[in-house]
Chain A
Amino acid sequence: MCDTCGCGDPASPRISGGTAHAHDHGGDHAHTHAHARTSISVGTDVLSANNRIAQSNREFLDRRGIFAVNVMSSPGAGKTTIVESLARRFGDVMAVIVGDVQTRRDAERAIRAGCRAIQIETNGACHLDAHSVAHAMEDLDLHGCKLLVIENVGNLVCPSTYDLGEHEKIALLSLPEGDDKVLKYPSLFHRADVVLITKTDLAPHMDFAVDKAINECRSLNRSMTHFSVSARTGEGMDAFCAYLAKKAGIGAP
Protein backbone atom coordinates (compact mmCIF):
# COMPACT_ATOMS: atom_id res chain seq x y z
CA MET A 1 0.00 0.00 0.00
CA CYS A 2 1.30 3.44 -0.93
CA ASP A 3 2.44 5.40 2.10
CA THR A 4 1.35 8.70 0.66
CA CYS A 5 -2.31 8.15 -0.04
CA GLY A 6 -3.07 4.54 0.79
CA CYS A 7 -3.82 3.45 -2.76
CA GLY A 8 -4.15 -0.31 -3.06
CA ASP A 9 -6.46 -0.37 -0.03
CA PRO A 10 -10.01 -0.86 -1.37
CA ALA A 11 -11.36 1.52 1.27
CA SER A 12 -9.00 4.34 0.42
CA PRO A 13 -9.72 7.29 -1.85
CA ARG A 14 -9.32 6.64 -5.52
CA ILE A 15 -7.01 8.78 -7.64
CA SER A 16 -8.11 9.60 -11.13
CA GLY A 17 -7.41 12.06 -13.90
CA GLY A 18 -4.52 14.45 -13.58
CA THR A 19 -1.97 15.60 -16.16
CA ALA A 20 1.15 14.16 -14.65
CA HIS A 21 4.21 14.66 -16.79
CA ALA A 22 7.90 14.59 -16.27
CA HIS A 23 10.58 16.54 -17.97
CA ASP A 24 13.95 17.95 -17.21
CA HIS A 25 14.00 21.45 -15.79
CA GLY A 26 17.69 21.77 -16.29
CA GLY A 27 19.35 23.91 -18.95
CA ASP A 28 18.89 27.55 -19.73
CA HIS A 29 15.50 27.47 -21.41
CA ALA A 30 12.62 29.15 -19.71
CA HIS A 31 8.99 28.29 -19.94
CA THR A 32 5.99 28.23 -17.72
CA HIS A 33 3.68 25.31 -17.36
CA ALA A 34 0.93 24.24 -15.06
CA HIS A 35 1.85 21.91 -12.25
CA ALA A 36 0.10 18.57 -12.39
CA ARG A 37 -3.37 18.59 -10.92
CA THR A 38 -4.88 15.40 -9.67
CA SER A 39 -8.42 14.67 -8.63
CA ILE A 40 -8.90 12.34 -5.65
CA SER A 41 -12.31 10.80 -5.06
CA VAL A 42 -13.34 10.94 -1.42
CA GLY A 43 -17.05 10.16 -0.97
CA THR A 44 -17.29 10.74 2.76
CA ASP A 45 -20.18 12.15 4.72
CA VAL A 46 -18.95 15.42 6.26
CA LEU A 47 -20.48 14.59 9.58
CA SER A 48 -18.88 11.15 9.50
CA ALA A 49 -16.62 11.85 12.47
CA ASN A 50 -19.62 12.68 14.63
CA ASN A 51 -21.58 9.75 13.21
CA ARG A 52 -18.78 7.29 14.02
CA ILE A 53 -18.72 8.40 17.64
CA ALA A 54 -22.53 8.36 17.76
CA GLN A 55 -22.58 4.76 16.53
CA SER A 56 -20.00 3.87 19.17
CA ASN A 57 -22.22 5.53 21.79
CA ARG A 58 -25.23 3.54 20.61
CA GLU A 59 -23.30 0.28 20.78
CA PHE A 60 -22.13 1.17 24.31
CA LEU A 61 -25.76 1.72 25.34
CA ASP A 62 -26.96 -1.47 23.60
CA ARG A 63 -24.39 -3.55 25.47
CA ARG A 64 -25.83 -2.23 28.73
CA GLY A 65 -29.48 -2.57 27.70
CA ILE A 66 -30.11 1.18 27.99
CA PHE A 67 -32.71 2.90 25.80
CA ALA A 68 -31.66 6.47 24.99
CA VAL A 69 -33.70 9.41 23.72
CA ASN A 70 -32.51 12.78 22.38
CA VAL A 71 -35.00 15.43 23.51
CA MET A 72 -35.05 18.58 21.40
CA SER A 73 -37.15 21.72 21.26
CA SER A 74 -36.99 25.46 21.20
CA PRO A 75 -35.91 27.10 24.48
CA GLY A 76 -38.81 27.14 26.95
CA ALA A 77 -40.96 24.39 25.41
CA GLY A 78 -40.76 22.39 28.62
CA LYS A 79 -37.92 19.90 28.18
CA THR A 80 -36.60 20.19 31.73
CA THR A 81 -40.07 20.16 33.28
CA ILE A 82 -40.89 16.99 31.36
CA VAL A 83 -37.55 15.50 32.47
CA GLU A 84 -38.43 16.30 36.11
CA SER A 85 -41.79 14.61 35.67
CA LEU A 86 -40.12 11.53 34.16
CA ALA A 87 -37.52 11.50 36.96
CA ARG A 88 -40.25 11.47 39.63
CA ARG A 89 -41.82 8.46 37.91
CA PHE A 90 -38.80 6.44 36.77
CA GLY A 91 -36.41 7.27 39.62
CA ASP A 92 -33.16 5.36 39.68
CA VAL A 93 -33.68 3.38 36.45
CA MET A 94 -33.34 6.71 34.64
CA ALA A 95 -30.31 8.91 34.01
CA VAL A 96 -30.09 12.32 32.38
CA ILE A 97 -27.44 14.10 30.33
CA VAL A 98 -28.43 17.72 29.81
CA GLY A 99 -26.78 20.34 27.60
CA ASP A 100 -26.94 24.10 28.01
CA VAL A 101 -24.66 26.91 26.93
CA GLN A 102 -24.10 27.75 30.60
CA THR A 103 -25.18 26.83 34.16
CA ARG A 104 -25.82 23.48 35.79
CA ARG A 105 -29.40 24.38 36.66
CA ASP A 106 -31.13 21.73 34.61
CA ALA A 107 -29.02 18.82 35.87
CA GLU A 108 -29.63 20.01 39.43
CA ARG A 109 -33.39 20.04 38.78
CA ALA A 110 -33.28 16.46 37.48
CA ILE A 111 -31.28 15.31 40.51
CA ARG A 112 -33.72 17.01 42.91
CA ALA A 113 -36.55 15.27 41.06
CA GLY A 114 -35.03 11.89 41.85
CA CYS A 115 -32.67 10.58 39.19
CA ARG A 116 -28.96 10.79 38.44
CA ALA A 117 -27.91 13.51 36.02
CA ILE A 118 -24.86 15.18 34.54
CA GLN A 119 -24.58 18.62 32.92
CA ILE A 120 -22.70 19.50 29.74
CA GLU A 121 -21.96 23.23 29.49
CA THR A 122 -21.16 23.93 25.85
CA ASN A 123 -19.87 27.45 26.51
CA GLY A 124 -21.02 28.56 23.09
CA ALA A 125 -22.06 25.58 20.97
CA CYS A 126 -25.76 25.62 20.17
CA HIS A 127 -26.18 21.84 20.12
CA LEU A 128 -24.78 18.71 21.70
CA ASP A 129 -22.58 16.39 19.67
CA ALA A 130 -21.64 12.73 20.01
CA HIS A 131 -18.19 13.52 21.37
CA SER A 132 -19.46 15.51 24.35
CA VAL A 133 -22.13 12.89 25.04
CA ALA A 134 -19.50 10.13 24.98
CA HIS A 135 -17.49 11.94 27.65
CA ALA A 136 -20.61 12.62 29.74
CA MET A 137 -21.48 8.91 29.69
CA GLU A 138 -18.00 8.10 31.01
CA ASP A 139 -18.59 10.37 33.99
CA LEU A 140 -22.13 9.19 34.73
CA ASP A 141 -22.81 6.10 36.84
CA LEU A 142 -25.05 4.05 34.54
CA HIS A 143 -25.28 0.99 36.77
CA GLY A 144 -28.92 -0.15 36.83
CA CYS A 145 -29.97 2.47 34.30
CA LYS A 146 -32.53 1.41 31.68
CA LEU A 147 -33.57 4.81 30.30
CA LEU A 148 -31.13 7.59 29.33
CA VAL A 149 -32.70 10.97 28.58
CA ILE A 150 -30.39 13.34 26.72
CA GLU A 151 -31.84 16.84 26.95
CA ASN A 152 -30.36 18.86 24.09
CA VAL A 153 -29.66 22.58 24.00
CA GLY A 154 -32.83 24.57 23.30
CA ASN A 155 -32.69 25.04 19.51
CA LEU A 156 -34.96 23.87 16.70
CA VAL A 157 -32.29 24.00 14.00
CA CYS A 158 -28.82 22.63 14.71
CA PRO A 159 -29.51 19.64 16.99
CA SER A 160 -31.44 17.91 14.21
CA THR A 161 -28.32 17.02 12.20
CA TYR A 162 -26.14 15.69 15.03
CA ASP A 163 -26.63 12.05 15.89
CA LEU A 164 -25.69 11.60 19.56
CA GLY A 165 -26.05 7.82 19.68
CA GLU A 166 -29.66 7.90 20.79
CA HIS A 167 -32.26 5.30 19.79
CA GLU A 168 -35.05 7.81 19.23
CA LYS A 169 -35.39 11.55 18.76
CA ILE A 170 -38.19 13.33 20.64
CA ALA A 171 -39.26 16.79 19.52
CA LEU A 172 -41.32 19.00 21.80
CA LEU A 173 -43.81 21.60 20.59
CA SER A 174 -45.56 23.64 23.28
CA LEU A 175 -48.96 25.28 22.90
CA PRO A 176 -47.71 28.87 23.26
CA GLU A 177 -45.41 28.33 20.24
CA GLY A 178 -48.35 28.04 17.87
CA ASP A 179 -49.67 25.25 15.69
CA ASP A 180 -48.01 26.62 12.53
CA LYS A 181 -44.47 26.10 13.71
CA VAL A 182 -43.73 22.64 12.33
CA LEU A 183 -43.00 23.51 8.69
CA LYS A 184 -40.85 26.43 9.79
CA TYR A 185 -38.36 23.89 11.21
CA PRO A 186 -38.77 20.95 8.85
CA SER A 187 -35.41 19.26 9.39
CA LEU A 188 -36.00 18.65 13.09
CA PHE A 189 -39.61 17.50 12.78
CA HIS A 190 -38.72 15.29 9.80
CA ARG A 191 -36.17 13.43 11.91
CA ALA A 192 -38.24 13.17 15.08
CA ASP A 193 -39.49 9.69 15.98
CA VAL A 194 -41.82 11.11 18.62
CA VAL A 195 -43.51 14.51 18.79
CA LEU A 196 -44.59 15.66 22.23
CA ILE A 197 -47.18 18.45 22.34
CA THR A 198 -46.59 20.09 25.73
CA LYS A 199 -48.31 22.53 28.11
CA THR A 200 -51.77 21.24 27.12
CA ASP A 201 -53.09 22.76 30.37
CA LEU A 202 -52.86 26.13 28.59
CA ALA A 203 -55.36 25.05 25.89
CA PRO A 204 -58.20 27.33 27.13
CA HIS A 205 -55.92 30.34 26.64
CA MET A 206 -54.39 29.38 23.28
CA ASP A 207 -55.60 29.04 19.70
CA PHE A 208 -53.70 25.82 19.02
CA ALA A 209 -55.17 23.18 16.72
CA VAL A 210 -53.44 19.95 17.71
CA ASP A 211 -54.67 18.11 14.60
CA LYS A 212 -53.15 20.74 12.33
CA ALA A 213 -49.75 20.51 14.05
CA ILE A 214 -49.80 16.71 14.06
CA ASN A 215 -50.80 16.52 10.40
CA GLU A 216 -47.88 18.74 9.48
CA CYS A 217 -45.54 16.54 11.54
CA ARG A 218 -46.92 13.48 9.78
CA SER A 219 -46.39 15.13 6.40
CA LEU A 220 -42.70 15.26 7.22
CA ASN A 221 -42.48 11.81 8.81
CA ARG A 222 -45.26 9.32 8.23
CA SER A 223 -44.14 6.93 10.94
CA MET A 224 -43.85 9.37 13.83
CA THR A 225 -45.63 8.77 17.14
CA HIS A 226 -47.17 11.64 19.10
CA PHE A 227 -48.40 12.40 22.59
CA SER A 228 -50.10 15.46 24.08
CA VAL A 229 -49.06 16.11 27.67
CA SER A 230 -49.09 18.52 30.54
CA ALA A 231 -46.28 17.98 33.04
CA ARG A 232 -48.14 20.35 35.37
CA THR A 233 -51.43 18.44 35.52
CA GLY A 234 -50.09 15.01 34.52
CA GLU A 235 -52.45 14.79 31.55
CA GLY A 236 -51.10 12.37 28.94
CA MET A 237 -47.99 11.50 30.97
CA ASP A 238 -49.14 7.94 31.71
CA ALA A 239 -49.30 7.10 28.01
CA PHE A 240 -45.95 8.77 27.27
CA CYS A 241 -44.26 6.99 30.20
CA ALA A 242 -45.75 3.66 29.16
CA TYR A 243 -44.27 4.19 25.69
CA LEU A 244 -40.81 4.91 27.12
CA ALA A 245 -41.04 2.00 29.57
CA LYS A 246 -41.93 -0.43 26.79
CA LYS A 247 -39.01 0.79 24.68
CA ALA A 248 -36.71 0.44 27.69
CA GLY A 249 -37.98 -3.07 28.42
CA ILE A 250 -39.30 -2.24 31.88
CA GLY A 251 -42.71 -2.02 33.53
CA ALA A 252 -44.62 1.26 33.23
CA PRO A 253 -43.93 3.49 36.25
Chain B
Amino acid sequence: MLDSVSEVMPRGAALTEVRVTVGPLSGVCAESLEFCFTELARERGFSAARLKIVRTPARARCSCGVTYDLDRFDTLCPQCGSLDRSILAGREFTIDAIEVEEV
Protein backbone atom coordinates (compact mmCIF):
# COMPACT_ATOMS: atom_id res chain seq x y z
CA MET B 1 0.00 0.00 0.00
CA LEU B 2 2.78 2.38 0.95
CA ASP B 3 4.64 1.41 -2.25
CA SER B 4 1.64 2.60 -4.30
CA VAL B 5 1.44 5.81 -2.27
CA SER B 6 5.17 6.48 -2.78
CA GLU B 7 4.71 6.11 -6.54
CA VAL B 8 2.17 8.94 -6.73
CA MET B 9 3.63 11.30 -4.14
CA PRO B 10 4.62 14.66 -5.61
CA ARG B 11 8.17 15.68 -4.87
CA GLY B 12 8.59 18.02 -1.96
CA ALA B 13 5.23 17.22 -0.38
CA ALA B 14 4.32 15.70 2.97
CA LEU B 15 1.72 12.95 3.14
CA THR B 16 -1.13 13.90 5.46
CA GLU B 17 -3.82 11.32 4.70
CA VAL B 18 -4.37 8.05 2.86
CA ARG B 19 -8.00 7.19 2.06
CA VAL B 20 -8.69 3.52 1.43
CA THR B 21 -11.82 1.51 0.77
CA VAL B 22 -11.99 -1.84 2.54
CA GLY B 23 -14.83 -4.13 1.54
CA PRO B 24 -16.18 -6.48 4.23
CA LEU B 25 -15.43 -9.51 2.08
CA SER B 26 -11.91 -8.43 1.12
CA GLY B 27 -10.21 -10.48 3.80
CA VAL B 28 -8.63 -7.32 5.21
CA CYS B 29 -9.05 -6.62 8.91
CA ALA B 30 -9.53 -2.85 9.13
CA GLU B 31 -8.49 -2.71 12.76
CA SER B 32 -5.21 -4.51 12.03
CA LEU B 33 -4.62 -2.21 9.09
CA GLU B 34 -5.06 0.86 11.31
CA PHE B 35 -2.81 -0.63 13.95
CA CYS B 36 0.03 -1.31 11.51
CA PHE B 37 -0.34 1.79 9.36
CA THR B 38 1.02 4.41 11.74
CA GLU B 39 4.21 2.54 12.50
CA LEU B 40 4.92 1.44 8.94
CA ALA B 41 4.15 4.91 7.57
CA ARG B 42 6.58 6.42 10.06
CA GLU B 43 9.28 4.00 8.94
CA ARG B 44 8.78 5.28 5.39
CA GLY B 45 9.12 8.89 6.47
CA PHE B 46 5.36 9.58 6.35
CA SER B 47 5.21 10.60 10.00
CA ALA B 48 2.28 13.01 9.61
CA ALA B 49 0.04 10.61 7.70
CA ARG B 50 -3.39 9.51 8.91
CA LEU B 51 -5.27 6.54 7.54
CA LYS B 52 -8.93 7.05 6.70
CA ILE B 53 -10.83 3.84 6.01
CA VAL B 54 -14.06 3.96 4.02
CA ARG B 55 -16.16 0.87 4.59
CA THR B 56 -18.60 0.08 1.84
CA PRO B 57 -21.30 -2.55 2.00
CA ALA B 58 -21.04 -5.78 0.08
CA ARG B 59 -23.82 -6.63 -2.36
CA ALA B 60 -25.11 -9.99 -3.44
CA ARG B 61 -27.76 -11.22 -5.88
CA CYS B 62 -29.73 -14.12 -4.47
CA SER B 63 -30.93 -17.01 -6.62
CA CYS B 64 -34.49 -15.79 -5.81
CA GLY B 65 -33.71 -12.56 -7.70
CA VAL B 66 -33.31 -10.16 -4.79
CA THR B 67 -30.21 -7.95 -4.55
CA TYR B 68 -29.21 -7.04 -1.02
CA ASP B 69 -26.43 -5.48 1.03
CA LEU B 70 -24.46 -7.60 3.48
CA ASP B 71 -21.50 -7.11 5.78
CA ARG B 72 -20.60 -10.75 6.38
CA PHE B 73 -20.38 -13.85 4.21
CA ASP B 74 -23.04 -15.60 6.26
CA THR B 75 -25.74 -12.92 5.99
CA LEU B 76 -28.89 -14.62 4.69
CA CYS B 77 -31.12 -13.30 1.91
CA PRO B 78 -33.76 -11.06 3.52
CA GLN B 79 -36.36 -12.40 1.10
CA CYS B 80 -35.91 -16.15 1.15
CA GLY B 81 -33.29 -16.81 3.84
CA SER B 82 -30.92 -18.54 1.43
CA LEU B 83 -27.12 -18.35 1.12
CA ASP B 84 -27.31 -19.27 -2.59
CA ARG B 85 -26.14 -16.08 -4.27
CA SER B 86 -23.53 -14.32 -6.37
CA ILE B 87 -21.31 -11.74 -4.71
CA LEU B 88 -21.47 -8.49 -6.72
CA ALA B 89 -19.29 -6.24 -4.55
CA GLY B 90 -17.46 -6.23 -1.25
CA ARG B 91 -14.02 -7.58 -2.02
CA GLU B 92 -12.44 -4.17 -2.62
CA PHE B 93 -9.17 -3.06 -1.06
CA THR B 94 -8.27 0.12 -2.91
CA ILE B 95 -6.37 3.31 -2.30
CA ASP B 96 -8.91 5.94 -3.29
CA ALA B 97 -6.88 9.08 -2.73
CA ILE B 98 -4.06 10.65 -0.81
CA GLU B 99 -3.84 14.12 0.69
CA VAL B 100 -0.53 15.92 0.64
CA GLU B 101 0.69 19.19 2.01
CA GLU B 102 3.34 21.49 0.64
CA VAL B 103 6.36 21.80 2.87
- Chain A residues at the B interface, C-beta cutoff of 8 Å: 4-5, 13, 35-49, 157-158, 160-161, 183, 186-187, 190, 216, 218-220, 222
Cβ of B98 under 8 Å from chain A:
yes
User: In the bound complex, how far is the Cα of B99 from the Cα of A183, in angstroms?
Assistant: 38
User: Are B4 and A44 interface neighbours, CB within 8 A?
Assistant: yes
In-complex Cβ contact of A218 among B73, B84, B102 (8 A) = B84
Contact digits for B15-30, partner A, Cβ 8 Å, 1 yes 0 no: 0100010000111100
Decide: A219 near B84, CB < 8 A? Known: A42-B8, A190-B73.
yes
Cβ contacts A to B, 22 pairs, < 8 Å: A4-B11, A5-B8, A35-B102, A37-B100, A38-B13, A38-B101, A41-B97, A42-B4, A42-B5, A42-B97, A44-B94, A45-B92, A45-B93, A46-B20, A48-B4, A158-B27, A160-B27, A161-B28, A183-B74, A187-B73, A190-B73, A219-B84
Give B21-77 interface residues, CB cut-off 8 Å to A. Answer: 25-28, 63, 73-74
Flag if B27 contacts A37 (CB, 8 Å): no
Contact B93 A13 (CB under 8 A): no
Q: Is the CB of A42 within 8 A of B74?
A: no
The answer to whether A47 and B74 touch across the interface, beta carbons within 8 angstroms, is: no
CA–CA, A36 to B96, complex, Å? 20
Which residues on B sit within 8 Å (CB–CB) of A49?
3-4
Roughly how many angstroms separate A158 CA and B73 CA in the complex, as a whole number?
A: 16
A68 CB to closest chain B CB, in angstroms?
Answer: 22
Supposing A37-B100, A219-B84, A222-B84 touch, asked if A46 and B11 sit within 8 A by C-beta, the answer is no
Known: A39-B99, A186-B74, A218-B84. A157 touches B94 (CB 8 A): no
Contacts of B84 in A (CB 8 A): 218-219, 222
What residues of chain B have their CB less than 8 Å away from a CB belonging to chain A? 1, 3-5, 8, 10-11, 13, 16, 20, 25-28, 63, 73-74, 82-87, 92-103
Q: Is the CB of A36 within 8 A of B101?
A: yes
With beta carbons under 8 angstroms apart, the residue of A36, A43, A219 that contacts B83 is: A219
Least CB separation from B12: chain A residue? A4
Cα–Cα, bound, A79→B85 (Å): 29
The reply to whether A220 and B73 contact each other, CB–CB distance below 8 Å, is yes
Residue of A nearest to B87 (CB): A190
Q: How far is the CA of A48 from the CA of B8 in the complex (A)?
A: 14
In angstroms, Cα B23 to Cα A46, docked, is 12
When distances are taken between beta carbons in the complex, the residues of chain B under 8 Å from A218 are 84
In the bound complex, residues from chain A placing their C-beta under 8 Å from that of B1 are 46
Collect the chain A residues with CB atoms within 8 Å of residue B100's CB.
Answer: 37-38, 40
Interface pair B73/A46, CB less than 8 Å apart: no
Contact between chains at A161 and B16 (CB < 8 Å): no
Q: Which residues of B contact A157 (CB under 8 A)?
A: 27
A105 to B82, CA, bound (A): 44
**In contact, B95 and A43 (Cβ under 8 angstroms):** yes
Chain A's nearest CB lies how many Å from the CB of B70? 11
